[in-house]
Amino acid sequence: MIARTAVAQDDTSGDGTTSTVIFIGELMKQSERYIDEGMHPRVLVDGFEIAKRATLQFLEKFKTPVVMGDEPDKEMLKMVARTTLRTKLYEALADQLTDIVVNSVLCIRKPEEPIDLFMVEIMHMRHKFDVDTRLVEGLVLDHGSRHPDMKRRAENCHILTCNVSLEYEKSEINAGFFYSNAEQREAMVAAERRSVDEKVQKIIDLKNKVCAGNDNNFVVINQKGIDPPSLDLLARAGWNLVVVALRVNIVALRRAKRRNMERLVLACGGEAVNSVDDITPECLGWAGLVYEHVLGEEKYTFVENVKNPHSCTILIKGPNDHTIAQIKDAVRDGLRAVKNTIEDEAVVLGAGAFEVAARQYLVNEVKKTVQGRAQLGVEAFADALLVVPKILAENSGLDTQDVIIELAGEHDKGNVVGLNLHTGEPIDPQMEGIFDNYSVKRQIINSGYVRGLTVPHALIHLLYTFSPPK
């Protein structure tokens, strides 16, 4: 159940899975301690419910509003992304990826529309070092050109994005073709070939129309197949024609991505067409540079220098698979953190500041308003919140008790402080630029509360099963 809660946390917020798990564990630990001392689970549950509602109300007051209009606060987004990335990567790499993550989200963002992070393609190459990771304001395809006579580098390119079969295809229904002699068979084969050649010729005619009198190039990016005769026709049409096939046969299909069609249109402009019958220059996109990069047996096609892109690619590089996987996970979390900030229009002070402040609020104010033994449930919930700064201190080699006492003392004085992991001293998270997502904190409290009641609810069930009320 805890694993499912962590998965739900990741699906909902994209971050906070570790905090959710340790918060649930601490709630269970606190529950066990009080129940062992003789407290009835029902009383403990009542206290948890009061504390949860009070914590969510405190979170609403504690959050810091952020204005996200047509021009978002880029510096705030960088601070949120940096806070997230530094929990997963070393500082130098995290700081480098901060700009990449923020710029990629701002690239795909459209005012008054939901942010679709699928428009950020995450491509990896086992090549060079992790610091060579970069943002490509365009697209990187994991395929190359399919003809030896085609250019490997082209500038000032018209981009035709299409989903048209440029190869002979068998009928999808049961059909038979009958002939009585070899001449009839040859005529049928020629007719089938002529049908495909006519499609290719229409593409060549469009290329001649837009490239006449200039040194522009023409790129065809097709989702379906292009057979060798069609490739040969396109190659012979001129040296300023480049073709990239995303799907040549079933074997090559396994690395193709359907969403690349949508990404290409958003990056380069134009329209994706399903037929070449009525293609016009208005259907074409534009890219200043298209080139092929060969790495071992793999080919990659870069589409760059596009105009006003709304799709981009984060190209992750690293010397081994472990490094690449680590960076990829961190980048995904960073993208979600930036997206959450834009949608929430609010952030929460990090470095354990919220948890300590919420604990002091529950103990000093909320607990006094609760009658009876439910106060102990509120106190248990409040103590469970401190697991986050405790883990931060423990992982930094600091004394957890000293750290918590010092942080709580500063909060009692009215100072909102967090933990400096290097010195162990209290710091102002706002001055240091340490911010967490509001929606992540809210989800942690809700998920942790629900799953943290597992032990009390299980004991209540056992009590009512073996000792039903009279």
Domain residue extents for the chain: 2-66+347-466, 139-308
Average pLDDT, the chain: 82
Q: Where are the beta strands (DSSP E) in 90-222?
A: 120-126, 134-136, 139-141, 153-162, 217-222
Q: Name residues whose C-beta falls within 8 Å of residue 469's C-beta, 6 or more positions apart in sequence.
A: none
* pLDDT value at 296 more than 90: no
* pLDDT value at 49 more than 70: yes
Helices (H), 212-294: 228-236, 250-253, 259-268
Rounded to the nearest 10 degrees, the angle between the axes of helix 387-395 and helix 17-36 is 110
Instruction: Give the pLDDT score at 323.
Output: 92
Region 139-308: CATH code: 3.50.7.10
Reported as a single tens digit per residue, the pLDDT across 63-100 is 888 877 777 888 899 999 999 999 888 989 999 999 99
What mean pLDDT is predicted for residues 390-419?
Answer: 87
What mean pLDDT is predicted for residues 31-39?
Answer: 81
Rounded to the nearest 10 degrees, the angle between the axes of helix 387-395 and helix 400-412 is 130
Domains 2-66+347-466 and 139-308 equal at CATH topology level: no
Among 17-21, 131-135, 213-217, 318-322, the least confident range: 213-217
User: Cβ distance 417 to 426 under 8 Å?
Assistant: yes
Pairing mode, strands 153-162 and 285-295 = antiparallel
Rg (CA), the chain: 30
Cα 147 to Cα 417: distance, rounded to the nearest angstrom: 63
User: Cβ distance 102 to 81 under 8 Å?
Assistant: yes
Cα 184 to Cα 459: distance, rounded to the nearest angstrom: 84
pLDDT interval class at 251 (50, 70, 90): very low
CA distances from 81 to 268, 338, 349, 396 (A): 27, 6, 13, 21
Residue listed under structure tokens 């340490």: 434
pLDDT interval class at 29 (50, 70, 90): confident
Cα 295 to Cα 287: distance, rounded to the nearest angstrom: 23
* pLDDT value at 469 more than 90: no
User: Cβ distance 54 to 362 under 8 Å?
Assistant: yes
Instruction: Give the pLDDT score at 104.
Output: 93
Q: Name residues whose C-beta falls within 8 Å of residue 151's C-beta, 6 or more positions apart in sequence.
A: 145, 217, 239, 240, 242
pLDDT interval class at 243 (50, 70, 90): low
Instruction: Give the pLDDT score at 163.
Output: 84
Among 214-223, 329-338, 432-441, the least confident range: 214-223
* pLDDT value at 246 more than 60: no
* pLDDT value at 364 more than 60: yes
SS3 240: coil
CA distances from 170 to 173, 192, 341 (A): 9, 10, 51
Share of the chain above pLDDT 90, in %: 14
Does the domain spanning 2-66+347-466 belong to CATH 1.10.760.10?
Answer: no
CA 203 to chain centre: 36
Among 4-13, 319-328, 383-392, 420-429, the least confident range: 4-13
Instruction: Give the pLDDT score at 100.
Output: 94
CA 247 to chain centre: 26
Instruction: Give the pLDDT score at 313.
Output: 92
